Amino acid sequence: MTVQSNQESAADVERLNSRSGELASRLGIVVTEASAKRIVATMPVEGNRQPYGLLHGGASVVLAETIGSALAVLATGFVKTAVGVEINATHHRSAKAGLVTGTATVLAITKSMASIAIVVEDEEGKPVCTSRLSCLLRDRPPVLLPEQ
């Protein structure tokens, strides 16, 4: 097993944040730590609340799927693409303000499937949501260049 350097980790964080997609950007998801075994990201509660002033459960699931899929791709060395095929979530408590932090860890990875565990915690370290994501791993399509 190879040990990832801090420089590689910083490059992975930058790469993941620059390619997080429109929804993750709108929700304010920011990757803060990345390795082939674990990704950590934050998301603000403000702007992601349901009508009762609590963090929307769907926002927690978006955070979970975003970092879980990213971890599946990173664990393959960016060789594969991850397509979520199943996600479950258990909501434990509400969050009303501040940031929540999601931590994704690898449960199992094969040539074609990745299983990832995600825990979303409030600023006190209390679990808000736990989730499990299964991703199909597919070969990355070739990069298409614009027609000349």
Neighbours of 5 (CB within 10 A): 9
Task: Look up 147 and say whether it is catalytic.
Answer: no
Catalytic residue among 22, 65, 124, 147: 65
- CA 148 to CA 141: how far, in whole Å? 20
Amino acid code (one letter) for 7: Q
Residue recorded with tokens 């097993």: 1
DSSP H or E segment with residue 86: strand 80-91
> What is the set of active-site residues?
65
